[in-house]
């Protein structure tokens, strides 16, 4: 009698676990966490990233730290005067 109750409880727990796993599987299948790109899209994205990187490097080469510091100091001085 006691063994039957334990077996019945175990079957119910396993059935609930199967339902939960099925729901998780369906959810993961419908909403994948990653996107698979075809080769053309991958190469287009790589080209875009490389062009943005080159553009940023070019802007960094043109960036004048001394001018930026001077502008920042002037802005701070102006804010202090306005207080």
27 pLDDT exceeds 90? no
CA distance 65 to 71: 10
Number of continuous H segments (helices) and E segments (strands) in the chain: 3, 0
The predicted model gives 58-62 an average pLDDT of: 82
Mean pLDDT, residues 12-30: 92
- C-alpha 73/C-alpha 79 separation (Å) is 10
pLDDT higher for 43 or 38?
43
Torsions phi, psi for 60 (to 5 deg): -65, -35
Q: What is the mean pLDDT of the chain?
A: 88
The mean pLDDT of 2-24, rounded to a whole number, is 93
Tell me what pLDDT residue 43 has. 93
Please state the domain extents for the chain: 1-34, 35-83
């Amino acid at each position: 009698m006691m063994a039957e109750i334990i077996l019945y409880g175990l079957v119910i727990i396993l059935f609930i676990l199967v339902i939960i796993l099925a729901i998780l599987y369906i959810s993961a299948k419908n909403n994948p966490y990653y996107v698979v790109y075809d080769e053309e899209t991958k190469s287009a994205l790589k080209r875009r990233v490389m062009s943005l990187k080159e553009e940023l490097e070019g802007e960094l080469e043109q960036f004048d730290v001394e001018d930026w510091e001077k502008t920042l100091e002037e802005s701070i001085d102006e804010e202090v005067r306005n207080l």
